[in-house]
Chain A
């Protein structure tokens, strides 16, 4: 229990501001400097839906990709942190890791939701349907359901120690399951062939806003994470102080 703000917490606010500025800069850059992708060469990649190739035209909706991909990456990174903090909790039984695991999962939920919203918007625009049972969408849908289930599990267990253990275990399992579902949904042959994406072919003018957005969102995610952890720790402190006060009053 320490009252002083740690160095990482001091970085939270500046990181939030820098992240926001970077994303705004990338946004402006994206719509002014970056050229439109030429259909089937880069983004958005063509896909076989219902037997015919969709999307080879110059649609403005391709700009969604510059936000969709960064938030998707960060949601996976956040999930990896959930598992890492879960392992640390199971090894040390220190509550602070449970708080961090929970907060990392919250970050994951925020970014998975953003991925879903941007993805579905793009799907509606370019494939003409709100939903297609296609590997990437299935993977993210079940990922979102698993992250939501994590929080339902937390509310369903009243004993704090037990809650921390169960949610750590479930967090680890989800983090193991996510790459497996990526693999299986892509590698199992289905009626909708998936075109593997090659991001290496992005021209620099597209790479710049993409990387800036990834960096910006990472900074924001980090800042939110630190602030949330700090708020949780303060809550705990208040609770323990209240208990002490009750004891003193008798």
Chain B
């Protein structure tokens, strides 16, 4: 009798893939698609360079004595926000083609897994673009200037901010795929929501770049608040995602 039960359980567990397997498959699908077409990465990478060029031209007439170190953090975050908007728009647009999203929804899986896998995919793509953007930004704007030893600390708010952008952005991108004028609408919804995170991250990044003596006093609370934003907003998005994706 117990053997029979065991056999049933085994066959049952064997047939039903775990949530983590769902997650891996969905994430793998996004990554495979991206590395075959390189649609998002190319367009985001080139867009980053274009925004850098625009900033370069915009700042060309600025007098020499303007302290670029004070502005660098803010400028860099402007690039991240614009580039992530581009990527987030693309991340769901191909799911609309040929009813791909409907196909995923037909699978009996926990809907929040879709959120997590999309979040991870968007996060990875953004991080890859940032790996290109950070050195380029350094070469274009900061090379030749004396750097403070605290500069590597600027990477931490970058990571925290990117996680938050990917989290909130994934939810909003799912909302906007079914709307008219989705590209503009994503920007309208996304930018105001991201402002608190931007505020904290720009503050932390600028502190790290300028290397002010009171660095840790102000850097730690700014970073902690950014992490708090991430945790709260991603949890809320996660809870609400089920409603959005099934609507």
Q: Does A142 contact B (CB under 8 A)?
A: yes
Do B181 and A90 have beta carbons less than 8 Å apart? no
Do A162 and B199 have beta carbons less than 8 Å apart? no
Chain A residues lying within 8 Å of B182, measured Cβ to Cβ, are: 156
Q: Does A17 contact B (CB under 8 A)?
A: no
Mask, B171-196, CB within 8 Å of A = 1, is 10001001111100100110111011
Nearest CB of chain A from residue B88's CB, rounded to whole Å: 15
Do A176 and B232 have beta carbons less than 8 Å apart? yes
Do B196 and A177 have beta carbons less than 8 Å apart? yes
Do A149 and B195 have beta carbons less than 8 Å apart? no
Q: Does A152 contact B (CB under 8 A)?
A: yes
User: How many angstroms between the C-alpha atoms of A143 and B196 in the bound complex?
Assistant: 11
Mask, A181-208, CB within 8 Å of B = 1, is 1011101111000000000000000000
Chain A interface category by residue count? 35 or more
Do A189 and B196 have beta carbons less than 8 Å apart? no
Q: Does A239 contact B (CB under 8 A)?
A: no
Chain B interface category by residue count? 35 or more
- Within residues 212 to 247 of chain B, which ones have a CB less than 8 A from any CB in chain A? 217-218, 221-222, 225-226, 228-229, 232-233, 236-237, 240, 243-244, 247
Do B189 and A187 have beta carbons less than 8 Å apart? no
- Of A157, A161, A170, the residue contacting B189 (CB under 8 A) is A170
Nearest CB of chain A from residue B221's CB, rounded to whole Å: 6
Nearest CB of chain A from residue B22's CB, rounded to whole Å: 23
Q: Does A76 contact B (CB under 8 A)?
A: no
Chain B residues lying within 8 Å of A90, measured Cβ to Cβ, are: 240, 243
On whether A152 and B229 interact (CB within 8 A), knowing A142-B192, A165-B244, A185-B196, the answer reads: no
Do B199 and A138 have beta carbons less than 8 Å apart? yes
Do A188 and B222 have beta carbons less than 8 Å apart? yes
- Within residues 134 to 182 of chain B, which ones have a CB less than 8 A from any CB in chain A? 168, 171, 175, 178-182
Chain A residues lying within 8 Å of B181, measured Cβ to Cβ, are: 156
Do B189 and A153 have beta carbons less than 8 Å apart? yes
Chain A residues at the B interface, C-beta cutoff of 8 Å? 90, 138, 142-143, 145-146, 148-149, 152-153, 156-159, 161-162, 165-166, 168-170, 172-174, 176-177, 180-181, 183-185, 187-190
Chain B residues at the A interface, C-beta cutoff of 8 Å? 168, 171, 175, 178-182, 185, 188-189, 191-193, 195-197, 199-200, 203, 217-218, 221-222, 225-226, 228-229, 232-233, 236-237, 240, 243-244, 247
Sample (25) of A-B pairs whose CB atoms are under 8 Å apart: A138-B195, A143-B192, A145-B191, A145-B192, A146-B192, A149-B189, A156-B179, A156-B180, A166-B247, A169-B240, A173-B233, A173-B236, A176-B233, A177-B196, A180-B196, A180-B228, A180-B232, A181-B195, A184-B199, A184-B200, A184-B225, A187-B221, A187-B225, A188-B225, A190-B203
